[in-house]
Amino acid sequence: MSKHYRMLMERMLGPAGVAINGNNPWDIEVHDDRFFQRAITEGELGLGESYMDGWWDVLQLDEFINRVLRARLDEKSRHSLSILLSVGLARVVNLQSRRRAFIIGERHYDLGNELFIHMLDKRMNYSCAYWENANTLDEAQEKKLDLICRKLQLQRGMRVLDIGCGWGSFGKYAAEHHGATVVGITVSKHQVELGRRLCEGCPVEFRLMDYRDIEGTFDRIVSVGMIEHVGYKNYRTYFEVAHRCLADDGLFLFHTIGGNRSETSINAWTHKYIFPNAMLPSVAQLGKAIEGLFVMEDWHSFGQYYDNTLLCWYKNITSNREKLRSRYDDRFFRMWTFYLLSNAGSFRARRNQLWQIVLSKSGVAGGYHAVRTL
């Protein structure tokens, strides 16, 4: 039976230029023949779990994934019952309801601040950097923060709402460089604890709360890497909250990973191990949710920069592995490696996108001037 599945795998990988036990750095090395059946019958879930179990390796996992996705091999593999059930569940149940809103914080962002301290840049940005004229991760992330502030036309004394504030990287930068006062919300207890320490002395407030419970009016709203956790059933609610809280002459910028197709769930492996209940919005889904609430002033796509950002995070995790070993075992590191490098490959294949979108309530008088270069 394993011989049969191996032959199927060889035929599938051929168009992608990937060999089994070949000489190229993107060729896979198989240690356990059970891998072939598991990967073919269980799709991305079987591929990821068998990697975590050490059944196969590859020198350049990111390039292997890039080649697999470019050849659309994921669309040709059969899906297991568990995958089909998870997709069906997402269509019936609101997986991102108020009652379930804190699951992502507990299962991902509360994995431990130490993990993210050793992975991210010095300001702890957990989102795509802006690599134009930048040579290091720290530079690229600071350019991203500056880009956001300029797109928002941030001015001293403005009150800003940060939906999904992380550890306060944007809030601290906006306060220090533009004199803004920032209210940040998150569903992660660990982010609140560390964020308050990192932003000590700055007019940055952290609130542990669901976005649906926000009250008040703000001159500007920013949301970086948050809508991926909102869910397609709640996109409209998310934008209604932003509309309710934004001043009539305000600007709202959200920064999100996007998908090329409208989906109702994320891939099964990512849902199970990394971002439970997450999903990537499409252009169509965002357009429908925004319609009648906002004027779309600017849509900036720079997903090509996420590839390099993820590789930097992987390099940081690898170089700091010994410092983290006491808390995270080898299987965790294989899981985290698959997460970072498979996503790098996905962005390289242009399967995933990264968008920054600026909205206003009634249109900026005289027109909005888009910002790209720094």
Per-residue pLDDT of 180-231, as tens digits, reads 999 999 999 999 999 999 999 999 999 999 999 999 999 999 999 999 999 9
Per-residue pLDDT at 88 exceeds 50: no
Domain boundaries, the chain: 2-79, 99-360
Per-residue pLDDT of 291-300, as tens digits, reads 999 999 999 9
CA-to-CA distance for 358 and 263, rounded, in angstroms?
Answer: 23
Per-residue pLDDT of 329-357, as tens digits, reads 999 999 999 999 999 999 999 999 999 99
| Model confidence band, residue 100 (pLDDT cutoffs 50, 70, 90) | very low
DSSP-derived secondary structure for 308-332: HHHHHHHHHHHHTHHHHTTTS-HHH
Q: What is the pLDDT of residue 150?
A: 98
Per-residue pLDDT of 133-148, as tens digits, reads 999 999 999 999 999 9
Mean pLDDT across the chain: 91
Q: What is the pLDDT of residue 147?
A: 98
Neighbouring residues of 195: CB distance < 8 A, sequence distance ≥ 6: 165, 166, 167, 168, 171, 184, 186, 204, 206
> Which of these, 166, 169, 114, lies nearest to 137 by C-alpha position?
169
Q: Which two tokens stand for residue 253?
A: 């910028």
Q: What is the pLDDT of residue 92?
A: 43
Q: How far is CA 236 from CA 1, 87, 134, 220, 243, in A?
A: 49, 21, 36, 19, 10
Q: What is the pLDDT of residue 264?
A: 84
Q: What is the pLDDT of residue 290?
A: 98
Q: What is the pLDDT of residue 1?
A: 62
Q: What is the pLDDT of residue 180?
A: 98
Q: What is the pLDDT of residue 101?
A: 47
Residue 80 DSSP code: P
Per-residue pLDDT at 179 exceeds 50: yes
Per-residue pLDDT at 165 exceeds 90: yes
Q: How far is CA 109 from CA 166, 188, 214, 231, 318, in A?
A: 9, 6, 21, 18, 19
Interstrand relation of 246-259 and 218-224 (parallel, antiparallel or unpaired): parallel
Q: What is the pLDDT of residue 220?
A: 98
| Model confidence band, residue 84 (pLDDT cutoffs 50, 70, 90) | very low
CA-to-CA distance for 211 and 241, rounded, in angstroms?
Answer: 8
According to DSSP, the residues that pair with 220 across neighbouring strands are 160, 251
Residue range 1-16: average pLDDT? 89
Instruction: Considering only residues 42 and 253, tell me which one the structure prediction assigns the higher pLDDT.
Output: 253
Q: What is the pLDDT of residue 80?
A: 42
Q: What is the pLDDT of residue 112?
A: 84
Instruction: Considering only residues 96 and 173, tell me which one the structure prediction assigns the higher pLDDT.
Output: 173
244, 252 Cβ separation under 8 angstroms = no
Per-residue pLDDT of 246-284, as tens digits, reads 999 999 999 999 999 999 888 889 989 998 888 999 999
Per-residue pLDDT of 104-118, as tens digits, reads 556 566 678 999 999
**pTM for the whole structure:** 0.91
Residue range 28-53: average pLDDT? 95
Per-residue pLDDT at 367 exceeds 50: yes
Residue range 121-133: average pLDDT? 97
Residue range 82-106: average pLDDT? 46
| Model confidence band, residue 85 (pLDDT cutoffs 50, 70, 90) | very low
Residue 28 DSSP code: B
Q: What is the pLDDT of residue 214?
A: 96
The CATH label, of 3.30.420.10, 3.40.50.150, 3.40.190.10, 3.10.20.30, for the domain at 99-360 is 3.40.50.150
Phi, psi of 22 (to 5 degrees): -85, -170
Residue type for position 41: T
% of the chain at pLDDT higher than 70:
90
Q: What is the pLDDT of residue 106?
A: 60
Q: Which two tokens stand for residue 268?
A: 């099964």
CA-to-CA distance for 126 and 276, rounded, in angstroms?
Answer: 17
| Model confidence band, residue 3 (pLDDT cutoffs 50, 70, 90) | confident
